Structure 1
Amino acid sequence: MARVYPFRALRYNPSLVRLEDVVTQPYDKITPAMQQAYYQRSPYNLVRIILGLPELFDTEQNAGKDADIYTRAARDFQDWRKAGILSRESEPSIFAYSQRFSVPGKPDLVQERRGLIALGELYDYEQKVVFRHEQTLPKPKSDRLNLLRATRAHFGQIFMLYSDPGLSVESLLFQSTAAPDIEVTDEYEVTHRVWRVSDPAVINFVTTALEDKKLIIADGHHRYETALNYSHERAAQAATAPIERNADKLPQPPYPEAAVMMTFVNMDSEGLLILPAHRVVHGLKGFSPAAWLQRAQTYFEIEPLAGADPSEHLARLEATKDKTAFVAVTADGSSLLTAKPDAAAAILDKFSQRQRQLDVVQLHAVILEELLDLTAESIREQGNLRYLRDASEAIAQVQEHEADVAFLVKAVALDQLREVAFAGETMPPKSTDFFPKLLSGLTIYALD
């Protein structure tokens, strides 16, 4: 049973700040250049809390003291609340959330994705209510847990998928013609609109409608697992605390840490877009493109590609249709690698049949681990690997000698993701890139 709750959100005060100046992309999508730009945009930009810049005396020994990014985040968060920059809603609410965007690479193709912002109860995966589809990395989880402990707040939403072919929830939430409470356009020209819904009858209908749903994490695996771990940390203490009931008898979590802020999106509705996450490998000792391609011939048909135009490379890759294929870019040029049937059967034997069909699984198992000798631990720690949405940037890093080889990949299909998740299996980290991202700072869930 998926338990969903309204909450008294903290929101930026529009009379004191301009929303465009303070909201951000999710922390793991903020590049160093974006981080600097956010800092310059406003002294109240959320980046100062969710991804603060280190200062001169920041060290592990100073953790928990003034010279510590997490302590500064907690201090700023409290100061902004006291100053009224952030103010809490007077009554529990849920929020209808619309994102209107042009598909990357296809500016004339405009789509809209609709969802619902609310609290969702945290479940261990073994309970088979919430399902993951990707493996997680230890460093991001440690970082997010430190921030959560310091601030006791969730600043962005976990992106959750559910199935509702009848579109009952969004039909109810988006029937109003009222102006949105929030409207902001981000740096990717995505227009985000949010409507607050506080009618107890609507809230009860929505929370009841979602009770029988199974949820798949689309984005936010690290933050979900961090929130789950923190919930377990606090469970014993919370069990002795009195539960406060709201006047309208609306559902609420058993204790604040038992839930996290989520955006629920119906996977049966329009507007869901998954982009590929290209792989860039760097720091390889003695890497020889010619020798590597020679080894790759055991498992792949190799076709040299002319030039280095990313759009042409991606078009050639998409033309492979149902075959497993990648474009490999090295300092010597580009090649289309198409998997030979059954050539890697021994390597892939440890995976289920459904996983063997996934390009990203073969990329990690056959190319990264077998042919480039990267260890599973090195991949988890991101020691030699970067994940990039932009194929042009991936190619440029090779051309500028910042990387040894880049692999352009096809996107994972939604049906593939659903099948893997509901089977209780996981794909490699960063296998999917849902576009657009959910903005951080539209609503905030403070645990205190």
Structure 2
Amino acid sequence: MDSGQVVTPPYVAGPLRLLPFPGLMLAPHRVGDPSTGRAFARPYRGVAARLVRWQTRGLVRRDRDPALYLHEYTAGGMTIRGLVGALDVSRRATRAEDRAVLPHEGIHPAQADDLADRMSEMGLNPAPILLVHSGTPRLRELTGGVLEAAPDHQFTDRSEQQHRIWAIREPAVLADVADELRHTRALIADGHHRYAAYLRLQRREPGGPCDQGLAMLVDQTATPLFLGPIHRSLAGTSLDDVRSAAESLGMRCTTRSQPEAVAALGPSTLAATDGTEWVVVDLAVPPDRAAVELLHRQLVPALPHGPSSIGYHHTVDDALANAHPRSSIAVLMPAPAVDLVQRIAEADRLLPEKATSFQPKPSLGVLIRSLRDEPAAPS
């Protein structure tokens, strides 16, 4: 298989199960510290021992009893709240209606294999993947009841994220939460390759801790993540190429000033520039499609020259820094709506690579799951 090929990861079968696990938590002053990432770096086989040493120094807290965690974090004025647990990945869906977790982007198999190898060597799920869903009124009532108690942990990390964590261990509450999640279909917001790595580990070592993978399930109705665009730069392409491609496809392409082009961005329009001149392309996007799909599946293939490479940028400034009249254009993208992404995933379609940017993400080190000292959950 071509190492650059993008494929659909397998689907986990419902009912969706988010199980208690004994959490590991870094000390608050280590969470959000850029140097913390080095704790999970090579050699990966030494990571677990490294964390044990940190534990003896008081830098890692280890829960003795399993719990489902309610994690609330605030960053940039946005507060996100979700349930963190061990996601059951032991069953595969063979029918579309049986799917419990919905990816919306493809994965590179080699990258997923590498992540699976790393987690196996570390003996850890170092961070939860992010899932979003629309919680039931009863689930919001249950989490609201948890919020009424004082948090088990509360701190501000080195990146200024504020965290509150509640450990849920009451059997009745856990049972009620499990009942409310049974029919949930969760959309992957962040962590497609880690999700695929979970499935690879489960295939390698079924029947044990690898039957689950660490996940955070966010109620997008109650505390929604912000969905932003990821802009593009197309090397080896000019604005004349864009005009030619748009004309061949019957798309409207008009020259605008920079303020007009940026203001014209919308669900069916994108703006492109070579750093000097600007154009707006009306993609005429159908209701069940996203602009990023038409860019990659219609406009880019129709370009008479290039692109020799495509760059991905989370900010407008980064994209514009890659625009040059003789070598590259920047393409500013609109963000797709969350419900559109959900519908696309429900329809068993994948968006192009790096189509979405869900923000903010929690800092590394708040909740970690060990694969070595955790008993397998009952089936």
**Is the Cα–Cα contact under 8 Å of residues 157 and 438 in structure 1 kept in the other structure?**
no
**Which among 323, 347, 350 is matched to residue 426 of structure 1?**
350
**Corresponding position of 2:376:** none
* Corresponding position: 1:289 with 2:239: yes
CA distance in 2, matches of 1:406, 1:95: 42
Count of residue pairs brought into register by the alignment: 351
**Is the Cα–Cα contact under 8 Å of residues 11 and 88 in structure 1 kept in the other structure?**
yes
**Is the Cα–Cα contact under 8 Å of residues 131 and 216 in structure 2 kept in the other structure?**
yes
Over residues 164-212 of structure 1, what are the superposed CA-to-partner deviations in whole Å (9 max), with x where a residue is unaligned?
A: 2412343233232x2450322564x543332233333322322232123
**Corresponding position of 1:386:** 311
CA distance in 1, matches of 2:154, 2:305: 49
Q: Per-residue deviation at 1:140?
A: 3.2
Q: Per-residue deviation at 1:433?
A: 0.9
**Which among 250, 253, 260 is matched to residue 302 of structure 1?**
253
Over residues 139-176 of structure 1, what are the superposed CA-to-partner deviations in whole Å (9 max), with x where a residue is unaligned?
A: 53233122112102101111112332412343233232
**Is the Cα–Cα contact under 8 Å of residues 4 and 211 in structure 1 kept in the other structure?**
no
CA distance in 2, matches of 1:92, 1:81: 18
**Is the Cα–Cα contact under 8 Å of residues 245 and 299 in structure 2 kept in the other structure?**
no
Q: How does 1:137-216 map to 2 (within 5 A)?
A: 137-166=108-137, 167-176=140-149, 178-179=150-151, 181-185=153-157, 187=159, 190-216=161-187
**Is the Cα–Cα contact under 8 Å of residues 252 and 281 in structure 2 kept in the other structure?**
yes
* Corresponding position: 1:397 with 2:322: yes
Identity %: 22
* Corresponding position: 1:409 with 2:333: yes
CA distance in 2, matches of 1:20, 1:202: 32
The change in CA–CA distance for 1:297 and 1:73 in structure 2 (over 3 A counts) is farther
**Corresponding position of 2:19:** 5
Q: Per-residue deviation at 1:354?
A: 6.0
CA distance in 2, matches of 1:400, 1:147: 42
**Corresponding position of 1:364:** 296
CA distance in 1, matches of 2:49, 2:261: 48
CA distance in 2, matches of 1:369, 1:73: 44
**Is the Cα–Cα contact under 8 Å of residues 103 and 188 in structure 2 kept in the other structure?**
yes
The change in CA–CA distance for 1:194 and 1:179 in structure 2 (over 3 A counts) is closer
The change in CA–CA distance for 1:437 and 1:78 in structure 2 (over 3 A counts) is same
Matched residue type, 1:338: D
Over residues 252-285 of structure 1, what are the superposed CA-to-partner deviations in whole Å (9 max), with x where a residue is unaligned?
A: xxx2100111111123324332111112233x3x
**Corresponding position of 1:326:** 270
CA distance in 1, matches of 2:330, 2:108: 21
**Corresponding position of 2:279:** 335
Over residues 108-165 of structure 1, what are the superposed CA-to-partner deviations in whole Å (9 max), with x where a residue is unaligned?
A: xx44222111111014354412221112234532331221121021011111123324
Over residues 380-404 of structure 1, what are the superposed CA-to-partner deviations in whole Å (9 max), with x where a residue is unaligned?
A: xxx8223221111111122598x71
Question: Structure 1 unaligned runs (5+)?
Answer: 25-37, 40-44, 53-67, 103-109, 239-254, 342-352, 376-382
Q: Secondary structure at the match of 1:398?
A: coil
CA distance in 1, matches of 2:174, 2:80: 21
Q: Secondary structure at the match of 2:321?
A: helix
Question: Structure 2 unaligned runs (5+)?
Answer: 1-14, 373-379
**Corresponding position of 1:48:** 38
Q: Secondary structure at the match of 1:148?
A: helix
Q: Per-residue deviation at 1:75?
A: 5.5
The change in CA–CA distance for 1:129 and 1:271 in structure 2 (over 3 A counts) is closer
Over residues 59-97 of structure 1, what are the superposed CA-to-partner deviations in whole Å (9 max), with x where a residue is unaligned?
A: xxxxxxxxx553454563454356553242111112111
CA distance in 2, matches of 1:431, 1:281: 15
**Is the Cα–Cα contact under 8 Å of residues 5 and 120 in structure 1 kept in the other structure?**
yes
CA distance in 1, matches of 2:108, 2:311: 13
Over residues 352-408 of structure 1, what are the superposed CA-to-partner deviations in whole Å (9 max), with x where a residue is unaligned?
A: x765x2101001112233326779xxxxxxx8223221111111122598x712211
Matched residue type, 1:229: R
Q: For the aligned residues, what is the CA RMSD? A: 2.8
**Corresponding position of 2:74:** 100
**Which among 266, 278, 302 is matched to residue 231 of structure 2?**
278
Over residues 221-272 of structure 1, what are the superposed CA-to-partner deviations in whole Å (9 max), with x where a residue is unaligned?
A: 110011111111111xx4xxxxxxxxxxxxxxxx210011111112332433
**Corresponding position of 1:116:** 83
Matched residue type, 1:89: D
Over residues 301-330 of structure 1, what are the superposed CA-to-partner deviations in whole Å (9 max), with x where a residue is unaligned?
A: 2222324x6xx7543313xxx5x2111121
Matched residue type, 1:118: G
Q: How does 1:253-264 map to 2 (within 5 A)?
A: 255-264=208-217
Matched residue type, 2:87: G
* Corresponding position: 1:316 with 2:264: yes
Q: Secondary structure at the match of 2:352?
A: coil
**Is the Cα–Cα contact under 8 Å of residues 114 and 170 in structure 1 kept in the other structure?**
no
The change in CA–CA distance for 1:210 and 1:191 in structure 2 (over 3 A counts) is same
TM-score, structure 1 normalization: 0.70
Matched residue type, 2:143: E
The change in CA–CA distance for 1:385 and 1:96 in structure 2 (over 3 A counts) is same
